[in-house]
A and B are shown apart, each in its own frame.
Chain A
């Protein structure tokens, strides 16, 4: 480090920050981010830790800003309109296929892939990730942590298959073209609703918030069970069974709070809490001992800060918390 390097230092840091912001906004707001772009970004990040920290800092900011999408449809635009000219009304949706709208999370980059052989576009989130896919028909799909889907939406066809994970669908009604979601041998057909689908090994859970939809088994050789879902219905489907129960709105809101980056537990068993939190982080929480696992917990945990829970476990519940690197052991 020489003396004459000093005057440029501030400019260097700012230039790096601008470059980092540039990568992020290109990836997040514009179409056409390619594998070559990702490689170039990876190379830039590997070049210097100064590049990496500037990028991570802004990426964390962008992740937080993604929560703003919750304000969609509210009267938030007003103030901006006043300070500038008004825009021509009406939708200006471009005639493009499908655009990923939200991207990235604290951990795990979104995985962008070129359009694969089966029809439709592939979208995925990593562990702890969350993303919103805006479809050209006006519908949207919110992807929760560790989720992969394929969406094929064009004139006359609205089809999504869930490969793994959990997603919330907000479907725009179109009488001529039902929206079909396939997941693990089950088919959900709907005509304009809001519903969530969670795919777990051997089990699919469908929660219907608004509208009406049907769920049916489409796996060859199985009993053709099916059910019509109305608001508040939660259907649990396995390879050979289908059950539907009604849940109250507050319960449903809690179960879907991941959409706002929060996990809400109300009298939940510690072992269940740990299992749920582990979906969102590569650091796994391990509950030692059956007795400990049976403790009941009330807590709200940010999906991007699962560690917050271990602090509460120690400080509020007085449990022993041992950090072993990629594993956090909770015991009595």
Chain B
């Protein structure tokens, strides 16, 4: 599988699972400040595996990878008796969390983007609005906001990362879990 194929698969199949994965990590890991790290590591492991072969069931595979990672971390940290911890993790994996169905998502996409944008800190939001709605370049934004290009960079850098957390972190609004 080429890097491009893996990237496309990752964006299409794995990223929509971010709320499910994050929830799983939060429930099964004692230190919430490590969630970002754990999530990135799960993504990396999943994509390394996908280079050889795409899994049949993405969600099951992602959660199994998360479980194995947590087991590895517990082992190396020796914080909790190994047997007990893994039992708890196994149990949790079995609970069936419905996968997101992203059909027709585009209908509401623009509204969701606006809502996400409004959650950014004011100056950061402003820079993103200039960049994405007004179509200005970084230098033009610096002039408009009367700040240095470095500060614009920092705002855009933060804006992008915050938007990622908001957009990928939220539950899919539509096509959710039919009973």
- Known A-B contacts A13-B40, A76-B114; A65 and B129 likewise in contact (beta carbons under 8 Å): no
Give 1 or 0 for each of A55-98: 1 = CB within 8 Å of chain B CB: 01111111011111111101011011001100100001110000
A311–B16 CA distance with the chains assembled, in angstroms: 15
- Known A-B contacts A52-B7, A106-B8; A308 and B102 likewise in contact (beta carbons under 8 Å): yes
- Asked if A49 and B44 make an inter-chain contact with CB atoms under 8 angstroms apart, the answer reads yes
A84–B130 CA distance with the chains assembled, in angstroms: 14
Which residues of B are found within 8 Å of A191, using beta-carbon distances?
none
- Asked if A305 and B102 make an inter-chain contact with CB atoms under 8 angstroms apart, the answer reads yes
Q: Does A6 contact B (CB under 8 A)?
A: yes
- Number of A-B contacts defined by CB within 8 Å: 202
Main secondary structure of the interface of B (DSSP, over half): helix
A83 to chain B, nearest CB (A): 4
Give how many A residues have a beta carbon under 8 Å from the other chain's beta carbons: 79
* Size class of the B contact interface (CB-based, 8 Å): 35 or more
Which residues of B are found within 8 Å of A17, using beta-carbon distances?
36, 40, 161
A282–B4 CA distance with the chains assembled, in angstroms: 10
- Known A-B contacts A10-B34, A10-B36, A84-B123; A56 and B11 likewise in contact (beta carbons under 8 Å): yes
- B35: nearest residue on chain A (CB-CB)? A10
Q: Does A271 contact B (CB under 8 A)?
A: no
Q: Does B77 contact A (CB under 8 A)?
A: yes
A322–B8 CA distance with the chains assembled, in angstroms: 19
Partner of B40, one of A22, A53, A304: A53
- Asked if B106 and A29 make an inter-chain contact with CB atoms under 8 angstroms apart, the answer reads no
B141 to chain A, nearest CB (A): 7
- Known A-B contacts A72-B133, A84-B122, A92-B140; A61 and B164 likewise in contact (beta carbons under 8 Å): yes
- Asked if A134 and B37 make an inter-chain contact with CB atoms under 8 angstroms apart, the answer reads no
Q: Does A217 contact B (CB under 8 A)?
A: no
Q: Does A30 contact B (CB under 8 A)?
A: yes
Partner of B135, one of A25, A74, A134, A261: A134
Identify which of residues 116-159 in chain B touch chain A, using a CB-to-CB cut-off of 8 Å: 117-118, 122-123, 125-126, 128-129, 131-135, 137-141, 143-146, 149, 152-153, 156-158
Give 1 or 0 for each of B92-117: 1 = CB within 8 Å of chain A CB: 00000000011111110110011001
Partner of A21, one of B33, B122, B132, B161: B161
Identify which of residues 168-210 in chain A touch chain B, using a CB-to-CB cut-off of 8 Å: none
11 contacts between A and B (CB under 8 A): A21-B160, A25-B153, A49-B45, A52-B47, A54-B40, A64-B113, A80-B125, A106-B8, A106-B11, A106-B12, A302-B106
Chain A positions within 8 Å of B, measured between CB atoms, are 1-3, 6, 9-10, 12-14, 16-18, 21-22, 24-26, 28-31, 45-46, 48-50, 52-54, 56-62, 64-72, 74, 76-77, 79-80, 83-84, 87, 92-94, 99, 101-102, 106-108, 128, 132, 134, 140, 260-262, 282, 300, 302, 304-305, 307-308, 311-312, 326
Question: Which 3 residue pairs across A and B have the least CB separation, nearest first?
Answer: A13-B37, A53-B43, A49-B44
Chain B positions within 8 Å of A, measured between CB atoms, are 3-8, 10-12, 15, 33-34, 36-37, 39-41, 43-45, 47-48, 72-73, 76-78, 101-107, 109-110, 113-114, 117-118, 122-123, 125-126, 128-129, 131-135, 137-141, 143-146, 149, 152-153, 156-158, 160-161, 163-164, 167-168
